[in-house]
């Protein structure tokens, strides 16, 4: 017989329920391997637990014959308010409303672009003529057609030299403005600006605006540059050659 104390009932019940910690489990297994008395007590608690479970399990539970159907109906009813609220909520209308507005705006924009392209008043060339006429009527006005929108880069040279002769390889000149070879003449030039600049004649030759061979001294020339609404240059108009610096 073992001389050490037997396992208490708490440990035996925990062993029966599989709730022992690692250390407790080792101790209990070692003890039970050599203690018939504790094994008998363990069996007793096991039988007693089965008896309790049997009594608990014997409680009748067939009271609700239509309980399953009731639950199904209740679950279905629980889903209906959500569906109804989804129908009533304006969330689905908002995207439709926005989509309709967006479609209208797209149509209006599309027609505006088409009208602008086919309207002579929106043509870049005629705009350039108009701005050019403004400049001519006001010699003091320097290059910038729209004073309410200042231009960052503006070179003002007013020298009364002879105009430089030029021949553009990019196309015909309209009111003195020659389309730049890389510009897209189809783009609208509304809200355009005209900048007066001075450039080397060789630069114009390299750009294809002037076909004549530059002189040896590569003089400076004055030119008006027509800028589109996007800030990109559309055309250039040579004004006069400046003094060589």
Residue ranges binding other proteins (CB under 8 A): 9-10, 13-14, 16-19, 45-46, 48-61, 63-64, 67-68, 70-72, 74-75, 78
Q: Are the beta carbons of 46 and 16 closer than 8 angstroms?
A: yes
The SS3 of residue 201 is helix
Q: Which is nearer to other proteins, 69 or 190 (CB)?
A: 69
Q: How far is the CB of 152 from other proteins (least distance, A)?
A: 56
Q: Which is nearer to other proteins, 3 or 76 (CB)?
A: 76
Place of tokens 């018939």: 36
Distance of CA 96 to the CA centre of its chain: 21
Q: How far is the CB of 42 from other proteins (least distance, A)?
A: 12
Q: How far is the CB of 3 from other proteins (least distance, A)?
A: 25
Spatial separation of the C-alpha atoms in residues 46 and 40, rounded to whole Å: 10
Nearest to 124 by CA among 186, 172, 183, 182: 186
The C-alpha angle 23, 28, 31, rounded to 5 degrees, equals 130
Q: Which is nearer to other proteins, 45 or 173 (CB)?
A: 45
Tokens coding 54: 């049997």
Q: Which is nearer to other proteins, 22 or 60 (CB)?
A: 60
Q: How far is the CB of 67 from other proteins (least distance, A)?
A: 6
Q: How far is the CB of 48 from other proteins (least distance, A)?
A: 7
Q: How far is the CB of 19 from other proteins (least distance, A)?
A: 5
Q: Are the beta carbons of 141 and 134 closer than 8 angstroms?
A: yes
Q: How far is the CB of 14 from other proteins (least distance, A)?
A: 6
Spatial separation of the C-alpha atoms in residues 195 and 163, rounded to whole Å: 17
Spatial separation of the C-alpha atoms in residues 71 and 132, rounded to whole Å: 84
Print burial letters for 199-225: b (CB count within 10 Å at least 16), e (below 16): bebeebbebebbeeebeeeebbbbbbb
């Amino acid at each position: 017989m073992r001389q050490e104390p037997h396992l208490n009932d708490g440990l035996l019940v925990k062993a029966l329920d599989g709730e022992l910690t690692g250390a407790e489990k080792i101790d209990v297994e070692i003890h039970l391997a050599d203690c018939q008395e504790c094994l008998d007590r363990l069996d007793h608690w096991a039988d007693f637990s089965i008896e309790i479970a049997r009594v608990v399990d014997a409680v009748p539970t067939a009271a609700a014959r239509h309980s399953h159907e009731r639950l199904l109906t209740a679950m279905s009813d629980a889903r209906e308010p959500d569906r109804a609220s989804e129908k009533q909520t304006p969330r689905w209308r908002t995207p439709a409303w926005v989509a309709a507005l967006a479609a209208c705006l797209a149509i209006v924009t599309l027609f505006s672009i088409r009208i602008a392209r086919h309207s002579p008043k929106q043509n870049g060339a005629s705009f350039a003529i108009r701005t050019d006429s403004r400049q001519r009527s006001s010699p003091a006005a320097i290059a910038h057609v729209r004073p309410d929108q200042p231009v960052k880069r503006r070179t003002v040279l007013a020298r009364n030299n002879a105009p430089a002769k030029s021949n553009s390889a990019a196309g015909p000149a309209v009111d003195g403005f020659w389309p730049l070879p890389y510009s897209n003449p189809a783009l609208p030039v509304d809200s355009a600006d005209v900048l007066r600049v001075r450039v080397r004649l060789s630069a114009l030759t390299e750009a294809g605006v002037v076909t004549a061979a530059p002189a040896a001294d590569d003089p400076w020339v004055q030119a008006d540059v027509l800028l589109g609404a996007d800030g990109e240059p559309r055309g250039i108009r040579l004004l006069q050659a400046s003094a060589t610096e």
